[in-house]
Amino acid sequence: MKFTARNILGWLLACMLIRLGFVRKALKKALEGEYMLSIYFHNPSKKEFETSIKWLQQQGLQLLSIADLEQIMLKQHTFPKGGAVITVDDGWQGNETNIVSVAETYKVPVAIFISTQPVQDGTYWWSYLAQAKKLNLSPPPVQVLKEVRNEERLLRVEEYKKKINLVREALTVEQVRKISKSKYITLGGHTHSHPILTNCTDEQVFFELLHSKRTLESWTGQSIIYFTYPNGNFSEREITVLEELGYSLAFTCNAKPIASDDLRHEFMLPRLGFREGASFAENICRMTGVWQATLRKLRYPTRRNNEDSVSMASPPLATSGVAFK
C-alpha cells in the first residue's frame, strides 16, 4: 500500500466493512450463484495481482475465461456458483511479468484488452499531461480533456508531445504476439488511441473499433471479438458499431457483479475495479463489490486517479466514470 492519507482512510473503512461481515455476505452470494464477480485491473504490481488471485482461489471461487462467460451468456452452460472473471485494460508493459506470468503459474484465465496505438508509439496520452504537470507546464486536468470533443483533446495533447519525451509504458508488438500464445490469455480490443468514444464523431468511432481490431488480428493471427470501453463511456451508437464489426461482448465500468439478468445485455457487462496502490483490505472490498455498494449507499462522490476504475451509479447507456483507463 502507498502510504497516503487517502489510502489510510480507505484501509480503515475497508477493515470496518470486513469486520462487520459485508465481505463474507458478498462472497456467500457469489458462491451460491446469485452473481459472478467481474474484476478488472490496469497496471498492478506482481505482488498485487498474485495476492489477489491467491485470495480469490482461497475463497473457493472458480476463475472463468471470457469464452466461458460467452458460453454461459449463450446458455450453453448454466450460470455458475462461485464464478469470477478477470480482465485487464490498456496493455501496460508490466502486464507480461506481473499478470501473464502469474496467470501461467496459477493456471488461471485472464483477458487483456489492448489499445493498439500505445503499443506502436510506446505511451498513453494522459501520461503527457502527468509529466507536463511535474514540469510546471500547467496542463489541463485529465478530467477536463475527457469531457471535450475528441479533436480538441488531440490538439491539446499534441502540444505536450512536442515538448516531452516519455519512456515506453505499453507492451511492444513482440510482447503482444508472445502473450497471445499463452493458453491462459485472451486478447481483446480497447480502441486504437484510447479516446472517450462518446466524444468522437461517427467516423472516429468506426475507425477506433475497426482499426484496433484489424491491427490486433494482424499481430496475433487471432480473431478479436471481445472489447472494453475506454473510461467506461459508451452509448447505443458504440454498441451498434461493435455488433456490425463482429464483436461478441463488451465490458463497461459499471461497478457491480454480473447477475444472470446482466447477460441479456452482452455489450453492457459490469466490472469491479481494483485500485492499484491501495491497501489489500480495500481491494478485497472492491473485488467483492462491497466497496462500491457502500459508497453508493453513502452517496460518496468518487473520482478516480489514473489507477482507479469505479463507476458509482451511471445509467447503463451513458458513461461509467473512470479517470482515464
C-alpha to C-alpha distance for 124 and 130, rounded to whole angstroms: 11
252: pLDDT confidence band, cut at 50, 70 and 90?
very high
Give φ, ψ of 243 to 5 degrees: -60, -45
Give φ, ψ of 180 to 5 degrees: -65, -20
Q: Which candidate, 175, 2, 31, places its Cα nearest to that of 99?
A: 175
Cβ proximity of 285 and 22 under 8 Å? yes
- What are 148's three cell numbers? 471535450
Model confidence pLDDT, tens digit, residues 183-223: 999 999 999 999 999 999 999 999 999 999 999 999 999 99
User: What are the sequence ranges of the domains in the chain?
Assistant: 5-115+176-191+221-298
Q: Which candidate, 258, 181, 245, places its Cα nearest to that of 214?
A: 245
Whole-number pLDDT of residue 297:
87
3-state secondary structure of 36: strand
Confirm whether pTM is higher than 0.75: yes
DSSP 62-92: EEE-HHHHHHHHTTSSPPPSSEEEEEEEE-B
Model confidence pLDDT, tens digit, residues 288-309: 999 999 998 886 454 444 434 3
Residue with cell 462491497: 290
- The arrangement of secondary structure in 5-115+176-191+221-298, i.e. its CATH architecture, is Alpha-Beta Barrel (3.20)
Helical (H) or strand (E) element with 302: none
Longest Cα separation, the chain: 56
DSSP state of 303: -
| 3-state helix, strand and coil shares in percent for the chain, rounded to the nearest 5 | 45, 15, 40
The answer, yes or no, to whether residue 275 has pLDDT greater than 80, is yes
Cβ proximity of 224 and 187 under 8 Å? yes
Model confidence pLDDT, tens digit, residues 253-266: 999 999 999 999 99
Model confidence pLDDT, tens digit, residues 135-163: 999 999 999 999 999 999 999 999 999 99
The answer, yes or no, to whether residue 315 has pLDDT greater than 80, is no
C-alpha to C-alpha distance for 38 and 262, rounded to whole angstroms: 12
Whole-number pLDDT of residue 325:
43
